[in-house]
Amino acid sequence: MQEKIKPVSVKKKLGIASFSLLLAALLIAVISTYRVDHKEIHKSEAKVKCISCYELTLKGRPVLSFNTDTLNTAACWIDRWALIPSCRGHLLTVFDNSLVRHKYSSEEVKKLLKIHVDSLKNQIISLHNIVDDLRYYAHVHDVRDVGYGMIADYGIRKVRQYRKIEQELNTLNKVKKDSARLHIAYKVYFKVVYKNTKGDTIEENCHLVKTLPHHFLIIQTDLKKKPKGIISQPLPLARYIVLGTSKSIRDHIKWNERPDSAGVYIGELDHQFLPNGQGAHLDNDGSYYEGHWTDGKRNGFGFSVSRKKRLRIGEWKNNIYLGERLVYNSDRVYGIDISKYQHIKGRRRKHYYAIDWANLHITHLGDISKKAITGTVNYPLKFIFIKNTEGINVFNPYYYRDYRKAKAYGYHVGTYHFFSIHTSPAEQARFYLKRSRFEKGDLPPVLDVEPYPSQIRKMGGPKVLFSRVRTWLGIVQHYTGTRPILYINQIFVNKYLNSAPDIKRNYYIWIAHYGEYKPDIRLAFWQLCPDGRVQGIHGEVDINVFNGYEQEYQKFLQKATIR
C-alpha cells in the first residue's frame, strides 16, 4: 500500500524560511567581518615592544636588571570572540624568541654575574675613552662651531650611561658577598605602542595571556581596556594583518626598526628606505655615527665614535672621513712663527727687512689649501714663536732683538729649537738653553722634530729617535720647570707618534699640516699654512691657530707658560 506524503504546514514552512534567512544573515555578517577596508585595518594595527632581561633578586627583592634587549614586532587589536565586540585590550603579536621564565642555580648565578661584570668593565673602559674625547672636544669648541649642540647632547647621554654602569658595578660589588641568597631569572615584558585619536604616540604596559602555534601570542594591556578610536579584528583576520605588517617591516624598513646586519638607524629615509638627511646609526660592532646622510652613505657634517678610531668630528664623503673644517674669523686665536728669514732673503743677506712691530695683522691665510673664511681676513696676533737654535752651533742672529720687541708690544713669545739627528741630544739641549731667553709668562720651550723617514731608518728607527727626543725634553723641562711643546708634521704623526704613547699623552703637540682640514689629533697649536701674509712683515709667514677660543687660550697660558 503506497504511503501518503503529508503536506508541510504553512507554519513549518515559515520556520524553515526564517532559519534560512537567519543563516544567510549570519553568513553575510561573517563575510562582511572579513571584508574591512584599509582604513579599518590601519586603525587595528599596533606595535609591541618585547623587552627581555635577566632580573637579579636578593632575598626576593629586585636588585637590578641587565642584558636588556628590546625587539619591536607588529601587532593587531583583536576580539576574543568572533562577531562580538570583546577586545578588552587584547592584542595578537608574533615573537620568535623563547619566553621561558627560567631561574638559575647558585653556580649558574655566579657564572652569569662574572660574565656580566666583565662586560660592564669592558664597557667602562670604552666609555671612559669616549667621555674623555668628548670632554676634550668641549674644551676646544663652543656653540660657534658647526654641530656643537648635537655633539654636546651625545656627550650628555654618554656621561649618563657611564654613571649608570658605575652604579651598577657598585651595586653588584655590594650584593655579591651574599651570593647564596642571589637569584637570577630570565623575564620578558611587553609594551604596546599606538596612536590615540589626537595622533599622539601612547605606550601601555601589557602582560602575556596565551601562546598560540607558530610563535603567535595573545597579550593584554594591564588596564584591560581597548583605547578609543581603535578597531579590533577577529583572530583569523588578525593573523593576516600581523603577518603582513611583519613582512613589510622585514622587507622595507631595513635600517629603522630592528637590529640586523646593517645595525640600527634612527632618522630620515628616502623613498627606497635608505638613510637620507639627518640620522644616527649604531652598528653591530658598537661604532656610532650621527650626522648627515645621502643615499645611505655618510655625507656632510657628522661625528663618529668607535673603539679603534675613537671620536672623529667633521666632514664625510661617501663614508670616508675627511676631517674637521674650521671656519676662520676674528674669534679665533692666531699667531705666527718666525726665523731669521723674515729679515733676510738668500744666503748673501744683501737685503735686510725690519719688522714693523706696531702694526702686525694677519691679512692672508695662504693659498696652499681651501679655507672656510667669514668676513675679511684682518686678524690680530696673540702669540709669536721664534726659532733660535739648531743642532749644537747654529743660531738666529736676530733672535734677541725680535724676542725683546715682541715682548715689548705685548705678545706671548716662545722659543724653539730645530732638532738634529747628527749630534748629542744632551748637547743640543744645553746649547738651546744657553742661547735662549726664558722669562715669566713666556710660552713653553719647543722642540722641532722633522727628520726624513730615510734619516730615521739610518739612525736605528723610531725607538732610537724617541729615546734622543726624550733626553732633550727631559733636560729642558728640568731647567725651565715647564713641559716643552713638540713640533711635528702630519706624516710624522701618522707614521711614528703612536710608537711613543708617553710623548703623545704627556706633551703638547704643535703640528704642521697644510690641508684644509684640522689635524685629527689632540694638539695645542696648528701651523695651518707657510704662505700667509702679515702686515708689517716682508714676504710669506707661517700662520698658526690655537686649538680653542680665547677662554681656553687663557687657561693654557695659566697652566703651561713659564713661571
Sequence-distant (≥ 6) Cβ neighbours of residue 330 within 8 angstroms? 375, 378, 379, 380
H or E segment at 67? strand 61-77
Grouping H, G, I as helix, E, B as strand and the rest as coil, residue 172 is: helix
Characterize the bridge pairing of strands 383-390 and 334-338. Answer: parallel
Closest alpha carbon to 309 in 287, 325, 291, 336? 287
Rounded to whole angstroms, the Cα distance separating 444 from 473 reads 11
Is residue 55 annotated as a catalytic residue, yes or no?
no
Specify whether the CB–CB gap between 268 and 276 falls below 8 A.
Answer: yes
Give CA angle at 361 (357, 367), nearest 5°: 125
SS (H, E, C) 69-132: EEEEEEEEEECCECCECCCCCEEEEECCCCCCCCECCHHHHHHHHHHHHHHHHHHHHHHHHHHH
Q: Which of 450, 516, 540, 552 is catalytic?
A: 450
Closest alpha carbon to 83 in 235, 277, 209, 230? 235
Rounded to whole angstroms, the Cα distance separating 223 from 480 reads 74
Beta bridge partners of 249: none
| 257-260 own/partner pairs: CB under 8 Å, 24+ apart | 257/72, 258/71, 258/72, 259/284
* Cα distances (Å, whole numbers) of residue 184 to 35, 104, 123: 48, 6, 22
Rounded to whole angstroms, the Cα distance separating 253 from 497 reads 44
The catalytic site residues sit at 450
